[in-house]
Structure formats: structure tokens, C-alpha cells
Structure 1
Amino acid sequence: MLGRYRLGFEYWRDSFRASDPGLDRLRIGARAAVTVGLSLTLLFILAPWLGQELATGLPGVVIAMFGVILVNDDTIRAQKITLLLLAIPALGVFVLGTLLASDPLLNGVGFIGVILASVISRRYGARGLALGMVGVLSYIFALFLNVGVADFPWIFAATVLSLACAYAVRFWLFREGKWRFVWARRAMLSRTNMLLRLLEYAASGDGNPAEKWKRARPLIIENLERLNAAALRVEDAWLVYNEHASKLSRVKSNSALDYGPHEVPLPRWIFAVEMVAERVTVNLRRILTMDEDDPEVRREIVAALREARPVIDAARGRDRKPTTPRLEALIKFSQVSRHEPLRRFAVALDDVAKIVFWDAYEVELSLEDARVLDPFSPMSPAPEVSIAPDEASGEGPEAERKREIRANTREAVQAVLAGTLAILAGHLVSPTRWYWAVIASFVIFIRTGSRGHIMIKGAQRVLGTLIGVAVGLGLVMLVEGHMLLELSLIFVAIFVGYYLAQVSYTWMISAVTVQIGVLYALMGRPVRDVLMVRFQETLLGVIIGVVVAVLVLPTRTRPKIHNRMALLLEECAGYFEASAVYMRKKSADIFIKQRSRKLTRSLQQLREAARPMRGRLVLVKAVSVNYELMLLGVLVYQARNLAASAEPSNPDLSDGLRESIAERAERLGRLCRGLARALRFPDERAAAGPENQPRYDADGDEVRLSEPFDLPDEPGERLPPSTVAINALRAAEKIAREFGRALDSDESIRK
């Protein structure tokens, strides 16, 4: 494994720049801290004037703080509505909890009812999740404060005022505008620079280049995956920015990868950067893993990579584009030596230098002029693509909706049972703070699709609580008695917790535990006893939740992964079939690229589902799952390669070539649907017997094995885009067939 310390200061600098695309984490942390500070300031002023206690209004402050991270709707308008709607479950459930607090039996039944409603509300997307979580938090505050009916007006006013502060902070003070896109784009360029530095390390120095590639490979794969994620962030940031603007414009392309005489929208620039970065990586791997090592070739490669990185730095800083004589010399050297893999590498690296700088500079200019790109509105409406999914085979939105409802019902049963047991067991540890056990048993079921995810999230919560207890006790000893330091530490902990929420659940829980410890110290309570009870209750709640997840209606991790694989294959099938339609109808090139972006998102969801078997904190290492994930990643890469090279709108493309590409795409679409069906219905494969195994072709057509790739006649020539598209389809077909053979040997599918 390659140590990051060997890559130098610049790699760490770029790593820091790329760690927070769009400055999303920084903005969320600032929103939370400023919301709490502003709300507390207003309540501190109003409480004495109204003759109320500040502590009684704290639930509204906490609800507003959680609203910062819980409200995650797709559009700004939906986020505003959701944030305003938080007042309804917050106040309604608080009243319910207060009225039932005096009767232990009704109190427990009411809490379980709120948990059930919260889980069921997740069926309605991000808004349902936010409203349900706020309801659970409000019930806990009702139990904790033990207030009377006379305090309701003040609590209601404090909650509404705090939510108004959260609204102002989120949508006025820290709104998502132009700079989110600017920083997301710069983070994407930093990630590209990190990738080139890793490739430079793999190609430099003495020794066996194949061994160096093997050591650098995990970091290279990680950077490619994060480059894809950064690209999605750029597109998401631009869509949000478009909500704030009305005038549409496009970015003119000055790069070698021109898509024709039309203006080029932003997604094409993003797509081109991703594709050429992946092509540079793939072609360098071919060179370094060849049997014959040529030191002179590697020296030329290292020199060219070192020259390409300043180009990206110039694009990120909007400086003048540096000259690239070494890149031009490398292309000429590859032509003279007739080294085809080196030629492909040199051309791809040259494309990186041209695309990244010139189009990035034009994007900055368009922002300065207050013009807005329209990334998903092409010049002409998209043609109708009538590809009806087969509901009987388990495909389609209706079948997926039914699966989601069944999964939500299962989660509701598990959460209710775990919450009931946590209430009973939590009282045995602490009759006054038993709700911490209920919280722990409840939250580990949020955004976890399998028992593997639940186990990992439970372990992270216990570890985070333990770290928070240790750090909290140490900090309390240092600042106890200094009110200003204690208040400052609470705000720092709030900011750090929300800043790290998207990075590590462990560190977020650590920061929350530190907040609790310092807050109790500020109130003059015994901190050590409180934090120890919190750890014990958390550990108890996690154990109960994990046991329930394993024993009651369990969802195994592997079937969840296989379901995600089937969804991705169905997306691939729809993409290939739509590509055939676009080719025959001579549609605009942008349609294929738009469609391929969905594959990237589906691949990310698949990787997230497989995290219990491939992340840093794993329960079981699954070689077969990792191999299948690798094959599907290559399949998506070839699909994107098709999108980058296919030119449906090219008038010079002959009807014969169009039909050839369309037929191959249709055949590959049928193959992907057959693979998806094999994953959906493994019993069919088992019943067929080894002599009658399905050929993974939904229509029964014979699928030919991969044919030889077309190569240029001369080393210096570029392949026509249509030939590149056909090669991509052949490679995708080969990978799909290999995935089918991997399914045959994967015994976990039939379990």
C-alpha cells in the first residue's frame, strides 16, 4: 500500500482543497453554529423581558440546529417549505409528550408511536425523514424538560423564532449560489491534479513499474471514484445556482475535443474532464504492466505529467495557460517509435491539458458576466424513447416502489421492537436518562439498508461516544469555571460536528458528546456521571438495535448489493437501448451524455450499498463482490466511453455506421437485462441445471464474444469517433459476458 506521505506537500494541499467540493461541509457547519448563536442571542434578550426562563426555550434552538442538516430536498423551494413545516411536528409532538409524561405506560406507548410514525414518514423522501426526526427529538425534549402547559406559549414562540433564524441563515446569509459552483469546480480540478501526481509516482523511479502500479492502484481507484463524485457535485451546484438566475447562456469550447459548431453546455466540459482523466489512467496502466519495460518511455511520461499539472493549477487560479512543449514532444515521440499505448496516453494527456484550462477559463468568464449555463436544456427537445420496462420481471418504477414500501415496513417493525426493548432496558441503567438508549436503537436504522450497514453504524456510534466521553472529560477539566471558554467550546463543537457529519459519523457523534459534557459543566452538573451514563445507554441501545436487525426480519447485505447491481444493469440496458434510438433519429449529442450521467449515480449507490464489504471498517471481505463491482465499474466506464465518442448528430456519419452502432447497442441492452433478471430471480438459474444455464440474453439471441478492436492504420492517426464507439460497445459486451461468468461462480446469489 502506498503511503500518502511519499507524494509531497502539493498532494496534501490538493487533497485539502478537494476534500470539501463546493465548501458544502464548511457551509453546513457555519450554518449550524450561526443559527444557534443567533437564536440564543434573541432568546437571551426576550426571556427576561417576557419573564421566562432561557432554558425552557432551548428545544426550539436545537430543533432549528438539526433542521440545518436534516432538510435535504432536491430544490431550494422544497427546502424552504420543509424548513417551515418543521414547526408542525416539533410543536405537536412536544405537546403530546408533555401531556403523557406523567403516566409511564402512556409515555412509553406514545414514544413508540412517534417512532413508528417517524419511520413510516421516510416513505415520502427527504421531507418525510426530516419531519419524522424532528418529531422524535421533540418528544425527547418533552420528557427531558418536564414543563407545564403554562410554558407552552413561550416554547412555541422560541421554536418559531429559532426556525425563522435558521431560515434566514440558510437561505439569506449562507445561501447556495455562484461560489458553491466555483469551489466545486476547483475541487474537481484539484482531484484531477492529485490523480496526475499519483500517475507520476507510478511511472517514476527505478524498479519494477508493475509493482509500483500495484502499490499505487488503491489510491488511484479511490481518486477516480472521488473525481466522479466531485463531477456530480459540480452539476448539482450548478443546478442550484440556476434556481437563482434567469438568463441562460452556454460555454464556448476552445479545446481539441470540440463537439461540433454548436455551443457546449457545462455538462460536456465536466464529462470531457472525467473521460480524459480516466483514459490517461487506463492507458498508463497498459504501459506500466507491459512485459517489456522501456526506461526512456517512462522518463518521457513523467516529464509530460509534470508539465500537465501546472496547466491545471493555472486553470484553477485563472492564470495564463503555460506552454506544453513536453506534451507535444511526447506525442511526436510516440509517433516515431510507433508505440500505440504511448500514443493513446499522450493524446489523452494532451486533451486533459487543453480541456481543463480553456473551458475552465470560459466558465469563469461566464460567471463574471452573471450569465447562467443551462446544463440540461439542449437546443432542441429530446426525442421520445419508448422503452417500457417489464414489470413482471421486477423492473420499472412501480416494482421499485413496492420494494421500497416493503423495506420501510420492515424497518418500522424493527425500530418499534428495538425502541420497546430499549425503553425497558434503559430504565434499568438510568431511570432519568433512558431515552439515550432509545435514540441509539432508533438512529442506527436511519439510511441503513442492510444488517451490515446497521452493525457498522452501531459500531461507529459506540466508538464516537467513547471518544467524545474521553475528549469531553479532558476539555471540561481545562475550561471548567470559565464561562466564556465553555460557551466558545460549545460553538466550536457544534461547528466541528456538522463540518465532519458527511465525512465520518464517528467524529460527528464525538462532537455531540463533547457538546453535552460542556453544556452540563456550564449548568453545574456532574459531568463524569452524565457522560458515563450516556456511554452505557448508547452501548445498550446499539446492542439491542443490532440484535433486532439480525434476528427480526433481517436484510442480508449481499442480497441488497445484488439488488443494487440489478438496478444498475437495468439502467445500463435502458441507456444502451436509448442510445440506439438516438443514433437512428440523429438526435443531439448531449442526450447520450445526459443519459450516461445516471449510470454514474447508480454506480455510486451500488458502492455505498457494498460499503460493509469494501470500506475501511468492514465486517467481511468479499472477494467475489469486489470483483463484480470492478466489472460493473468497467462496464459503466465503457458506456461513458460510448457517450463521449458517439455522434448521433454528425451529418457525415453514414447510415450503415449508425445502424451498426444501434444494433450493437440494442444487443448489449438485451444482455444487460438478462443479467439483471439473473440477479433478480436466482431460482430460475438454479432450476435450469448446470447444462441449461441462461445465456444472460433476455430475448434468447446469441451474443457474440468480443471481436478484435479496430486500430488506426498509422500510429499518429486518431480513430474516428464512430470506430471508438464500436470499440466501446465491444469492450462493454466482453465485460458483461465476464460478469455473467462471475455470477455463475458466485454461490452467495443462490443462498
Structure 2
Amino acid sequence: MHLFSRFQFRDWLLANDPALSRLRMASRVTLTILLVFLILLAIEAFILPLPTAAFGLGIVLSIEGGVAVRDKGNARQLVTRLFGCAVSLVVVAIAAGLEDQRVLSDLVFLVIILLASAGRVFGPRGFAIGMFAFTSYFMGAYFQPPLAELPEVAIGPVVSVLVGHMVRAVLLPDDWRRDLLRSLESVSGRINQILFKLAALAASGDIGEADRQELRQLEDRLKEVVLMAETFIPRPSAGVFDGASNPAAELAIRLFDAHLAAESAIVLSFQSPPPFALVHAVIGADAAELKRYEGMIEASKDQPQGETVRALLWLGEARRQLTEAINRGGACGFSGVDAAKDTAQAQAIDFSLANPLLRSALQITLASAIAMGFGLLLSRERWFWAVLASFLVFTNTNSRGDTAMKALSRSLGTVFGIAMGLVLATLISGEPDIAIPVMAICIFLAFYFLQVSYATMTFFISIVLCLVYGMTGVLTLDLLKLRIGETVIGAAAGTAVAFVVFPARTRGALDAALARWFQALRELLGAIGEGKSGFELIALSQKIDACYRDVTVAARPLGSSWSVVTRPGQIRQTLAIFLSCTYWARVLARSYEAPPADDDQRRLITADLALVDDAASRGSACFFIKRKASRTAGRHLPVSREGARVGLEMVGSALERLYPQADTLPFASGEAIARSKQG
């Protein structure tokens, strides 16, 4: 029973954290902080006393080393850490030297912020070094170490860099083969979730709107982990496999088929729920029962139920083949799959204001200046919190809507975290044996949820700060109110600047994402028109998949409630259309085989390309059209015949739904589209 529970927990963990990447990052940060803190304590106890700034820098740079250093390869990571350490020591020395000239020190801080944020144009290394510089000057100005103590202060960053690299390279190293295996296991786990839901619906015999929405969410979650797994499969420099004999190519096909089969089972179950016995047989891999259903499908091949049965049988076979690939890979560690070669070429850096990274650097600096000014009105000693908030709300955002959402998340996370931290600090006051483990757990949880919820991360970090204040004896209600006030000032300053200075409109970001999606679809249709097939078409359809994910991210700030409401809103309805078109593009890519398309297919391709051009020219306007709740398209999945033809029809049908001529417009077939274009 204990063993079963352990495997259940692993399946749950993989289902929610594909490749265990979040678990690994949280473990790295937590372990690095603990080791650095213990080493610094040992140095203070047995070698020489250390200033508080050494501990502060060591802990903060442990966080940056675990989160900001994103280079590929241990050697590159070590170089970035060493550069970051050197920059850290320089800016701390500058902060210490300017301590007696506070106005000049504040101005220099703004210069550091400008340079640190502008450093992102140099890629991952520039981003990491910039974060090291910003946080180091922040800590130097906050702790105000005398110049005479700089040698002792430098011990903190040095220990942090060395320990951080040891944890990343030795104790918890990256391993793409292990990550590939875990991501494939996550794919299998999410397919199982879909099957369990289909089994429940088959037992009830009814699919309601809430059930449809849950299945769409499961479909989105499957897509998310499939996209992750695809990044771990090494590809040739051209991005397209030469043939299925390549072990990596075979693995890519198994993954592609399992994804497409799972989505097909969902699409057809909307039209006709599957037999419960069949879903149960697929889940249990019951070969005899599956064989019995195979013998029955010929009689019902033109019926909705028959197509659903075909889709489930296809999913059962694709799932079996994927499971075999996972088992073989787990047994040999994917030894037959060669590691990907880094063929990326350095690109010229754009130092003009046309580069959004440089515009963002100016935004961050101006927001920090505003936060600094208003923060100083509240406190001469604690205004750094306002600057910190204004700096961080711009990280990993691509529009003013994103920035506003992140600012709100930070403010709410701080408020609720301080409230909880105050309760915990009061309950365990004077109990460091309890407080320290609680802080370690909160640090782990903060960085485990960093990629999922910024508010949750801020919540746990605020709890840690409250416990630290409690242990050092400076925790007061006024101090906590001041922190909340400074955080709100910084968040408000960042939001205001995002909307006023070089505003990156949410619709602008969405227009750019849609342009990439339409271009990817255009490339797929063009390649089919040229008679291409096989891996080339599959690679193009995967590009559409990746672009769809970017569209969903860009659209989220337009209607942040779209993912939690029960009835479809405009944003979610439109995304469902793009999801449908993305799905049928994959059906098309998998089904089409050369020789070149016949005249009828050429007419369909021409019609679809015309629809693509028309919709692409309108950008994100489709997200603001009121529609009736969407219905399932009337064609059944061609799992056995005419796959390419029906794929072309359904792509055209989905594109038409972006701009319906009337609310009652039926879903036109590709043939109708072609005739309308001809007439």
C-alpha cells in the first residue's frame, strides 16, 4: 500500500510539474541558501566575524543564481556566475563608497538599474549579470557596510557563487535525458487523466457544458506538456528529421500521434460519447476487448459512434506505443538518442529604441525613480522596497496588461503574506528551532510556485521576511504597514509607467502573436500545396502549436476571468476557435501524403490561404466579436480516410468562424468556401 501511494504521488507530481523542473529549481534555491547560510555561520564561528551584509548578499545572490542563471551547460553557467560575482563586488563597493552622499548614491542606483535592465539585450548572461548588479547594489545601499568591511562582505557573494555552482552542477544537475523521460511520463499521465474523464462521461452517457470545458482544460494541459517534451527531443540543425529510422524521429512520431489521438478522442466524444467498456479497455490495455471492438467498427464506420470508437482505438494504440517508447527509454536512458548540438548563431544586437528590451529598460528606470521619490516620503531607510517592487513587476512581461496583473499579484501576495507571517511570527516567537524549518519550507514553496503564480511566490517570501524580522527582534506592526505601503507604491509606479511611457498595448502583443500563428499556418498550407509531406509537415504543425501557446499567453490580460468563468466569454470562445484550427492543422499534417494534391485539394488550399490572409489582416479584432456559444463542427474525424481533405475543410471552417457573417451562420465546409471564392 505504501509503494502504491508513492507511485500515486509521483504520478500526481509529474502531472502538475512536467519534468519536475519546478521541484528541481525550488530544491536548488532552498539547498543553496541553507548551505551558504551554514558555511557563513561556520566562518563567523571559527575564522572571523562577518558583517550582516555578507549574510544578506550571500542569501540574495543564492536566489539569483538559482533563478536568473539560465545559460546552457555548466561551463557557461560558471562563467556567468563569476562575472556576476565580480559585478556584485564592484557595485557593493560603489554603494559603500557613496554612503555619505545619499543623493548621489540614489542617482547612481538609478544608473545601475538602467544598465542592469539594458543588459538583457545580451541574452541570458546579460540578464543574469544585470540581476546580480541590481540586487547587490540594493543590499549594499540597504545594509550600508563601511569600506573597511568590504573584504569580509565579499565572502558572502563568493561563497554563494561557488556553492550555487556546486549545487547546480553536482548535487542537482541538469540531465536532458532524464527530463525527456519525465516529460514523456507526464504526457502519459495527462492522457490518463483524459481517459478517466471520458470513462466517467461514458458511464453517465451525457456530456454537459461543464464537462466540455473540463475536457478542453485537460486538452490544454496535455498540449503544454507535449510542447515541453518536444523541446527535449534532439533535432537536426534544420529542425526536420530525415526519416523514421532515427530513434529521435521515432520518439517524436510516437509523441505526436499520442497527442493527436488524445485530442481526436475528445473532439469525437463531444459528438458521440464513447462506450464505457471501450474506454475501460483502453485504460487497462485489455487486448482481447480492444480486438473485439476492432471487429465491430466496420459495421458502424459511417456513424458518429463508429468514429468515436475508431478514435479510442487509435488512442489505445498510440498510448501503447508511447508507453513502450517510455519503457525502452527508461531502461537504456535514451542512449540511442544523440544529444542536440548547439547550432545557434550570435545575432546582431539592436541598441535602438525599436528594441523592446531597451524601451523596457527606460521604463524600469523611470518607474524606479518615481518609486524612489514616493518611497522616500514614507521612509528614508526602507524606500528600497518600493524600488524593488517597481523593478520586478517588469520582469517577464510583454505588455502593459501583463505588468498591471503582475503588480496586482505582488501587492496582494505581500498583503496576505504579511498577515500570515505576522500570525506565525507571533506564535513561534523565540523558537528558532521551529522558525528556521518553517522559513526553509516557505522558501521552497515560494520558488516551487514561481512559474505558476507570482502572487503565491510573493506570499511565501513575505512570510519568510516576517519570520526574519521576528527572529531579529525588529518586527512591529508599523514596520509591516510600511512594507505594504512601499510595495504598493512600487507596484503602482511600475503600472503607471507601463501605461504611459512606451506603452506596449496588450492588443499589440496579441497582434504580434497572431501574426506568427497565421504565418505558421500559411507555411503549412503552402508546403502542402508544394507536395511536401512527412516530417516536414509535422514540424510545421508543431510550429503552429507553439504559436498557439503564445497567443493564449498574449490574450490572457484581455480578459483574465476567461479561464474561471463557467459560460464561454469572448476571449475563451475565440481561443477555442484557434485551438480547433491548430488541431485540424495537425490532422492535416499527419494525414497528407505526396504526390501533390489533386485539383479539388488545391482549390481548398487556395480558399484556406485566402481566409488566412483576410483574418491575418484584421489582427486581434476577432477577440472582440460577440458570438453565440460555439457548437461542435458537423464533420466526423476522418481517422480512416480522406484525412487531408477533411483537415483542409475544417481548417477553413474554423477560420470562417473567426468572422461570422451572421450569428446564425452555419459552419461552412471547405467545399462551400472554395465555391464562394470562385463565385
Give the TM-score range, shorter chain.
0.7 to 0.9
Q: CA deviation at 1:201?
A: 3.0
Task: Check whether the contact 1:563–1:680 (CA below 8 A) recurs between aligned residues.
Answer: no
Task: Check whether the contact 1:490–1:515 (CA below 8 A) recurs between aligned residues.
Answer: yes
Task: Check whether the contact 2:51–2:153 (CA below 8 A) recurs between aligned residues.
Answer: no
Does 1:511 pair with 2:474? no
> Match for residue 316 of structure 1?
none
The percentage of aligned residue pairs carrying the same residue is 23
Could you tell me which runs of 5 or more consecutive residues in structure 2 were left unpaired when the two chains were aligned.
1-6, 623-632, 665-679
Q: Secondary structure at the match of 2:204?
A: coil
1:646 to 592, 596, 608: 592
Q: CA deviation at 1:365?
A: 2.1
Does 1:92 pair with 2:98? no
Could you tell me which runs of 5 or more consecutive residues in structure 1 were left unpaired when the two chains were aligned.
1-9, 243-249, 251-258, 289-297, 312-322, 379-396, 649-654, 683-706, 713-717, 746-751
1:489-529: per-residue Cα shift (whole Å, max 9, x none)? 22111111111111211110011111111112222222533
- Change in Cα spacing, 1:591 to 1:540, as seen in structure 2 (3 Å) is same
Return the letter of the residue paired with 2:284.
P
Q: CA deviation at 1:75?
A: 5.6
> Match for residue 31 of structure 1?
28
- Change in Cα spacing, 1:557 to 1:657, as seen in structure 2 (3 Å) is closer
1:207-259: per-residue Cα shift (whole Å, max 9, x none)? xx3xx33111222111111101111222334559x9xxxxxxx9xxxxxxxx9
Q: CA deviation at 1:361?
A: 2.3
Task: Check whether the contact 1:11–1:194 (CA below 8 A) recurs between aligned residues.
Answer: no
> Match for residue 676 of structure 2?
none
1:309 to 263, 278, 283: 283
> Match for residue 425 of structure 1?
374
Does 1:215 pair with 2:206? no
Task: Check whether the contact 1:638–1:732 (CA below 8 A) recurs between aligned residues.
Answer: yes
Does 1:197 pair with 2:179? no
Q: For residues 710 and 26 of structure 1, what CA distance do their matches in structure 2 show? A: 41
Q: For residues 100 and 384 of structure 2, what CA distance do their matches in structure 1 show? A: 16
Q: CA deviation at 1:275?
A: 0.2
Task: Check whether the contact 2:510–2:620 (CA below 8 A) recurs between aligned residues.
Answer: no
2:250 to 254, 262, 265: 265
Does 1:227 pair with 2:212? no
Q: For residues 372 and 556 of structure 1, what CA distance do their matches in structure 2 show? A: 47
Alignment of 1:281-292 (within 5 A): 281-287=266-272
TM-score, with normalisation over the residues of structure 2? 0.84
Q: Secondary structure at the match of 2:272?
A: helix
- Change in Cα spacing, 1:571 to 1:328, as seen in structure 2 (3 Å) is same
- Change in Cα spacing, 1:78 to 1:678, as seen in structure 2 (3 Å) is farther
Q: Secondary structure at the match of 2:58?
A: helix
Does 1:343 pair with 2:323? no
Alignment of 1:472-621 (within 5 A): 472-581=421-530, 583-584=531-532, 589-616=534-561
Q: For residues 267 and 193 of structure 2, what CA distance do their matches in structure 1 show? A: 16
> Match for residue 327 of structure 2?
364
Q: CA deviation at 1:660?
A: 6.9
Q: CA deviation at 1:595?
A: 2.6
Return the letter of the residue paired with 1:40.
F
Q: For residues 172 and 532 of structure 1, what CA distance do their matches in structure 2 show? A: 42
Q: For residues 408 and 46 of structure 1, what CA distance do their matches in structure 2 show? A: 41
> Match for residue 725 of structure 1?
644
2:411 to 462, 467, 472: 462
> Match for residue 236 of structure 1?
231
Q: Secondary structure at the match of 2:382?
A: coil
2:152 to 138, 154, 158: 154
- Change in Cα spacing, 1:619 to 1:122, as seen in structure 2 (3 Å) is farther
Return the letter of the residue paired with 2:500.
L
Does 1:739 pair with 2:679? no
Q: For residues 258 and 365 of structure 2, what CA distance do their matches in structure 1 show? A: 48
Q: Secondary structure at the match of 1:265?
A: helix
Does 1:43 pair with 2:28? no
- Change in Cα spacing, 1:477 to 1:90, as seen in structure 2 (3 Å) is same
Does 1:676 pair with 2:676? no
Aligned alpha-carbon RMSD (Å): 3.7
Deviates more, 1:595-604 or 1:668-677: 668-677
Q: CA deviation at 1:428?
A: 1.6
Q: CA deviation at 1:130?
A: 2.2
Task: Check whether the contact 1:98–1:148 (CA below 8 A) recurs between aligned residues.
Answer: yes
Q: For residues 349 and 528 of structure 2, what CA distance do their matches in structure 1 show? A: 24
Alignment of 1:322-471 (within 5 A): 323-337=286-300, 339-374=302-337, 405-471=354-420
Deviates more, 1:334-343 or 1:182-191: 334-343
Q: For residues 55 and 493 of structure 1, what CA distance do their matches in structure 2 show? A: 22
- Change in Cα spacing, 1:14 to 1:400, as seen in structure 2 (3 Å) is farther
TM-score, with normalisation over the residues of structure 1? 0.77
Task: Check whether the contact 2:513–2:550 (CA below 8 A) recurs between aligned residues.
Answer: yes
Q: CA deviation at 1:662?
A: 7.0
Q: For residues 535 and 91 of structure 2, what CA distance do their matches in structure 1 show? A: 49
Q: For residues 333 and 681 of structure 1, what CA distance do their matches in structure 2 show? A: 47
Number of corresponding residues? 635
Return the letter of the residue paired with 1:590.
F
Q: For residues 634 and 708 of structure 1, what CA distance do their matches in structure 2 show? A: 13
- Change in Cα spacing, 1:666 to 1:441, as seen in structure 2 (3 Å) is same
1:253-308: per-residue Cα shift (whole Å, max 9, x none)? xxxxxx978765211111111000000011111225xxxxxxxxx6xx12211222
